Structure 1
Amino acid sequence: MARDDNAAAESEEPLGGWRAWYTVGMLLIAYMVAFADRQVITLLVEPIKSDLGINDTQISLLMGFAFSIFYVTMGVPIARLSDRFNRRTIISVGVFFWSLATVSCGFARSFLQLFFGRVAVGVGEAALTPAAYSIIADSFSVKTQGRAIAVYSTGIFLGSGIATIAGSALIAMIGDVASQMPEFLQSFRPWQLVFMIVGAPGLLLALMIRFTVKEPLRRHRLSSNPGGKVSVKALLSFVWERRWSYFPIFIGYSLGGIGFWSYLFWSPELLRRQFGMDIGEAGTAFGVILTVFGTLGVLLGGWACDKAVSMGYRDASLRLAMIFFLLALPAMVATPLVSDKHLALALLSATIFLVSLQQALSPVALQLITPNEMRAQVVSLFLMVASFSSIAFGASSVAIIMDFVFSDSMAIAKSLSIVAGVTMTLAVITLWIGLKGFAVSVKDAERWSQQ
């Protein structure tokens, strides 16, 4: 792998030009594919439980813990490569690997086989997101990074939304044509074929990223470290010295993420169990909500952050995240508890919109206070702490309360409301505690940051 600080490997393009936006577009598609591969399992809960003989807690481990465990084992090493070598190549390899892993989930015949397939899918965000944030930060000015990262972050909702809409249609289609399929495909269950079909497009996308995306010139290096290589000790020392900035971001987003991911994982099942919708109807409804209201929220939140920065609010990315979490809290608590289906869908739309407003702000905050040669590693640390906690416990916390507190799979509404209420309240308090330290770190970063 060639070092990307070689002049021949980097592209010096105007900040925010068409090439930069093309790169954002390709990264957005990769993020959408990542979330589609990750989220399609939420539509397959009942058939997987039935075929493999597992309960809600075990299915939650497949949704969250199995996927997120890769952050702990490989996230930081891959991020160190991203801070030193060609980020485009690392992303393309990651896309190919996680797509192949998604296809392999279709061959699983047991809980353990599917568990390890989901572990392999976890390479997606471990390889993609830290490098993607770093590339975007090198492609746009500080004043426009919020919008660029917001566009990329819409991949969460576009990918999840499209996955639930298309996945619902795919499940119905496979059921209709199962008897007409070739004999070798008839030996697979419909949920296995869904994994195979959903994973396949990423294999082509990996090649497109490798051969059409250019590596941008690295900027915002520490003047004391022109070579770009940072030891683990230096990285941890840098984060520890600014712990009153980094720790509230890590912990606050871990808590808020648990509430957010509990909705992302369990909303289709909430609509099915609580309101009697079939899984196709529930998936389509939730997919439309994610695609429309989630995408709108992310873009509006990114625009609001850029606007606040232009007005002189240095801590806008963290302050607005705290405000957006606070606004989302009442809707997240109330949504599962209403008895009318149409009111529940309206509140669910409000919940997704409000909680998505902050989606692009954590990476903006981290990029602002982190030098270039540490960015992917710091983001990977963030993913290891915040995303691992969010995804693993967002899925499992609701299932554990259902299985071991209420001992009732129909207690999904109360379980979801409890998790959201507790975690979102603590998230708001934690981000508020971090505001002062974050403002100091932003000011300190201005000494070594150059456009």
Structure 2
Amino acid sequence: MQTVTTVPRGYPRQAYAWFVVGLLTLAYMLSFIDRQILSLLVAPIRRDLDISDTQMSLLMGFSFALFYTFFGIPLGRLADTASRRWIVTLGVAVWSAATAFCGFAHHYWQLFAGRMGVGVGEAALSPAAYSLIADSFPPERRSIAMSVYGMGIFLGAGTAMLVGGLIVGFASKQGELVLPLVGTTRPWQLVFYVLGGVGLIFAWFMLLIREPARQGATVASIPLREVIRTLMQHRRAVLMHNLGFACVALASYSAQAWLPSVWQRVHGWPIRDIGVIYGSVIAVSGCLGIVFAGWLADRWRARGISDATLRVGAIAAGCGAPLALLIPVMPSPGWLAALVFPLTFCFSMPFGVSAAAIQDLVPNRMRGQTSAIYLFVVTLIGLGIGPTAVAMCTDYVFVDDRKVGVSLAIVAFAAQLLACLLLAGGCRHFRKSLSEIEGRS
């Protein structure tokens, strides 16, 4: 007997909707490979460019986050009116070209400029992707779809470690390579060339996406002031949501940036081994955490728990905070890997539900701009501050490269604890806002 899947009116067929989610997840995964690869290359880049941890952290965080957030809002506005598939396609092409440019860097400022270009390209992806997914799934299925898309964070970060470690390990055995057109190439430069080339090829696949109908919306330009006015009507819920999930991001980005250095400096592991082990842990544990959170939030919402998304985030942060304190006391690299599995699970849980929550507070025609504002706050605080806070603690408080684990534990614990308090306190404001919205509909 053939099973017929009921498709909610106005939404695309679910098989195709999940195909779109799959493509967007691959794009998100690729973006995080390009975004996070630097954390595995700290030692060789510091050596070759003669820079400090703090300067390195600006490459990992601030240089990227500044332009990611600056361009995110206008690109989010564009996602509310223009072709979202073209926005995503061009974004992938731009950040991939900028990643390849990073390989040409022989001076700090050149690598800094390349990282700014990566930020500009990646700013195009998530506002358009969130809007596409929200128009492909009804609200009761949206958390799990957003969480699957959010898997790209951890698939990408994990793949960055795995592939980066293998390429660096292979290239290091060969020594400096001489490539056509570019000449003498160091192992870390080769990583950027490979990733940039793969991204430029993948960009063409994004044209397989078809624009879904904008649910309950006419395509019209909505002034930013109207979006701000709508958010101000729910300012308590929006503020607690944005700041709470930004603190989660701060802890997560700090860990992804500096855990490889903990293994290398404290436990003496080579880059290749770190890439294989840490990459596998991130990919598996991160994906399990984010999908579990999406499933749990949808299940709770089906039972009438309207603040399920924030509640899941608060629980994850509360569990992650004490685990972060254990980072510097792990006696061996194996024990650290064992700790990182549950730590990554907790850190990953909120990344899908946070995006789903913000979609519920605004009408369709504002989703791109609202997502961009949310990403502005989360990225500027999480990525712009997190890695640098750890580096400055190491450079200026402990003045000891081997204390990077202690610095990471302090920053991650404080951020997760604050996230738990903000998200738990924001639940009642979120429930109130949803009730007001439902009352007007």
**Normalising by structure 1, what TM-score?**
0.93
Assess if the C-alpha contact under 8 Å between 1:34 and 1:124 holds in 2: no
164, 171, 174: which one pairs with 1:174?
Answer: 171
2:236 is the counterpart of 1:239:
no
Q: CA deviation at 1:179?
A: 6.4
Deviations 1:183-218 (A, max 9, x none): 6555122111111111111112211112x1101100
Where 2:123 maps in the other structure, the secondary structure is helix
Q: Any stretches of 5+ residues in structure 2 without a counterpart?
A: 1-8
Partner in structure 2 of residue 129 of structure 1:
126
Q: CA deviation at 1:181?
A: 4.9
Which shows bigger deviation, 123-132 or 103-112? 123-132
Matches within 5 A, 1:236-275: 236-275=228-267
Residues 5-28 of structure 1 show CA distances to partners (whole Å, capped at 9, x for unaligned) of xxxxxxx97445111111101101
Residue aligning to 1:336: 328
- 1:124: how far off? 3.6
The 8 Å contact of residues 28 and 152 in structure 1, kept in 2 or not, is answered as yes
Match of 2:211 in 1: 215
8 Å CA contact 2:176, 2:187 repeated in 1: no
Deviations 1:257-280 (A, max 9, x none): 111111011111111111111111
Deviation at 1:431, TM superposition (A): 1.1
Correspondence for 1:147: 144
Gap change, CA 1:431 and 1:37, over 3 Å in 2? same
Displacement after TM superposition at 1:123 (Å): 2.1
Match of 2:52 in 1: 55
Partner in structure 1 of residue 356 of structure 2: 364
Q: Answer whether contact 1:179 1:186 (CA < 8 A) is retained.
A: no
User: Does residue 398 of structure 1 match 2:390?
Assistant: yes
CA RMSD of aligned residues (A): 1.6
1:229 shift after superposition: 2.3
Partner secondary structure for residue 107 of structure 1: coil
Secondary structure of residue in 2 paired with 1:359: helix
Which one of 409, 427, 430 corresponds to residue 417 of structure 1?
Answer: 409
Give me the whole-angstrom Cα distance separating, in 2, the residues matched to 1:351 and 1:186: 42
**Alignment partner, residue 321 of structure 1:** 313
Q: Secondary structure at the match of 1:143?
A: helix
Query: Do the aligned partners of residues 46 and 337 (structure 1) sit closer, same or farther apart at CA in structure 2, a change above 3 Å counting?
Result: same
User: What does the per-residue CA deviation read over 1:333-368, in whole Å, with 9 as the maximum and x for residues that have no partner?
Assistant: 212322233222111111001221222111010011
SS in 2 for 1:139: coil
SS in 2 for 1:369: coil
Q: Which moved more, 1:177-186 or 1:252-261?
A: 177-186
Which range moves more in the overlay, 87-96 or 169-178? 169-178
Q: Which residue of the partner structure matches residue 6 of structure 2?
A: none
Q: Which residue of 2 aligns with 1:32?
A: 29
Q: Which residue of 2 aligns with 1:297?
A: 289
Q: In structure 2, what is the equivalent of residue 188 of structure 1? A: 185
Q: Structure 1 pair 448/152, CA: closer, same or farther in 2 (3 Å)?
A: farther
Counterpart contact for 1:269–1:279, Cα < 8 Å: no
Distance between the aligned counterparts of 2:320 and 2:338, measured in 1? Answer: 14
TM-score (norm 2): 0.95
> How high is the sequence identity, in percent, across the aligned residues?
36
1:116 and 1:194 mapped to 2: Cα distance? 17
CA distance in 2, matches of 1:16, 1:395: 41
The 3-state SS of whatever aligns with 2:140 is coil
Q: Is the 8 A contact 2:70 2:376 kept in 1?
A: no
Among 20, 24, 29, the alignment partner of 1:23 is 20
2:10–2:215 CA contact under 8 A, matched in 1: no
| Bigger shift: residues 374-383 or 178-187 | 178-187
Which letter does structure 1 place at the counterpart of 2:295?
W
Query: For 2:279 and 2:139, how far apart are their aligned partners in 1?
Result: 33
Letter in structure 1 aligned against 2:87 = I
* Farther off after superposition, 150-159 or 353-362: 353-362
Aligned length: 433
Aligned to 2:4: none
Change (3 A) 1:445 1:190: same
Paired position in structure 2 for 1:437: 429
Amino acid at match of 2:306: R
Residue 113 (structure 1) aligned with residue 105 (structure 2):
no
Match of 1:202 in 2: 199
